[in-house]
Amino acid sequence: MIEAGFGAQRVADWAGVLAPAGTPSPVIERLNREFVAAAHSPELIAKLAANGNIVASSTPQEMTRLIADEVKEMEQLIRALGLAAH
């Protein structure tokens, strides 16, 4: 990206779990607790580490912000590159 004139770009892979819009908050909070507990199991951490991955967890609110920030960044990049869907 630097060589193409776009400066330093932060690009990272991540995975998350999403629920349908309108899912009640208590359900979202419970799912988050369960997924965080599972993600931090020693077995999963070891399997992911073997492939160079790390486990990081967040709150539903942090995930919402992450997605919104990523969308903004990608929109800017798409415009800068002059890309369009056909």
Note the pLDDT tens digit of each residue in 16-64. 999 999 999 999 999 999 999 999 999 999 999 998 888 989 999 999 9
Question: What pLDDT, on the 0 to 100 scale, is given for residue 10?
Answer: 66
Question: What pLDDT, on the 0 to 100 scale, is given for residue 8?
Answer: 74
**For residue 28, what are the contacts with CB-CB under 8 A and spacing of at least 6?**
19, 60
User: What are the boundaries of each domain within the chain?
Assistant: 25-81
Question: What pLDDT, on the 0 to 100 scale, is given for residue 27?
Answer: 97
Task: Say how far apart CA 47 and CA 73 lie, in whole Å.
Answer: 30
Q: Tell how far CA 2 is from the center of its chain.
A: 23
pTM over 0.75: no
Q: Which of 18, 4, 2, 8 is nearest to 73 (CA)?
A: 8
